[in-house]
Amino acid sequence: MATKIVSQPKLRFWERLYFPRILQGLGITGRHVVQNLLHPKDMPTISYPDVQVVYPDAFRGMHRLTVKPSGEEKCTACMLCATACPADCIHIVAERHPDPSVEKHPLSYDINTLRCVYCGLCVEACPVDAIRMDTGKHPPPGRDRGQFWEDKALLMGRSEGFSVPEGGLAGARALEGKGS
């Protein structure tokens, strides 16, 4: 195999200097600054605390564990969500269920939200629809790592008073449309 020698084009004096490119970049930036000063309503920035962001239907927010009408968790501790999780942030300890017709349930169900990448694979893997990410909220900031460990009680507590038992945010918006 032969080697082909390619000659580089000879750059002119001004092309070898960074100065023209710096001026070109400053010109673009200056044009945007002037445009945003003259037309502030056209800026795509959202003033977050003052204006609430409308999340899309497929938004994956904070996790929640769904509950049966009897008040106990739907989770059967099958470990499929923990297995599907690429970040390895779900930790489940299973135990025998007191009801002999049910095989097992989670003794503890913990999610390390610092490791979670909010991909939604745990939701897709769950065969009994026990875990959801349809709260429509993003995690709040915290001061220490312990605040980012979510246990079973916290996750089940997010399902209390949740207005949409099935369908996530898309179902919630569909129900709102039917009511009006």
**Interval 154-170 mean pLDDT:** 70
Same-domain status, 95 and 33: no
Q: According to the model, what pLDDT value does residue 168 have?
A: 53
**Has this prediction a pTM greater than 0.95?**
no
For position 180, what pLDDT does the model report? 45
E strand segments, the chain: 64-65, 90-96, 104-112, 131-132, 149-150
DSSP assignment letter at 172: H
90-106 b/e with 16+ CB inside 10 Å = b? bebebeeeeeeeeeebb
Q: Are residues 102 and 35 in the same domain?
A: no
Report the percentage of the chain scoring pLDDT > 90. 47
Q: What is the average pLDDT value for the chain, to the nearest integer?
A: 85
98 and 153 together in one domain? yes
Q: Does residue 83 sit in the same domain as residue 131?
A: yes
State whether 32 and 115 are in the same domain. Answer: no
Q: How far is CA 5 from the centre of its chain?
A: 50
Most confidently modeled range among 21-35, 44-58, 127-141: 21-35
pLDDT range class, residue 165, cuts 50, 70, 90:
very low
Would you say residue 92 has pLDDT above 90? yes
Could you tell me if residue 5 is inside a domain? Answer: no
Mean pLDDT of 79-107: 94
Say if residue 15's pLDDT is above 60: yes
pLDDT of 93 strictly over 90: yes
- Domain membership of residue 18 as a residue range: 14-45
Same domain membership, residue 76 and residue 147 = yes
Residue 140 included in any domain: yes
Given a cut of 70, is residue 176 above it in pLDDT? no
pLDDT, residue 167, reads 54
Query: Is residue 167 a part of any domain in this protein?
Result: no
CA-to-CA distance for 82 and 126, rounded, in angstroms? 10
Number of structural domains the chain divides into: 2
**Lowest mean pLDDT across 31-40, 48-57, 118-127, 142-151:** 48-57
Whichever domain contains 104, its CATH number is 3.30.70.3270
Instruction: For residue 53, tell me if it sits in a domain.
Output: no
Q: Tokens at residue 3, please?
A: 């080697």
**What's the whole-number mean pLDDT along residues 80-104?**
94
- In this structure, the answer to whether residues 72 and 18 fall within a common structural domain is no
30 domain residue, yes or no: yes
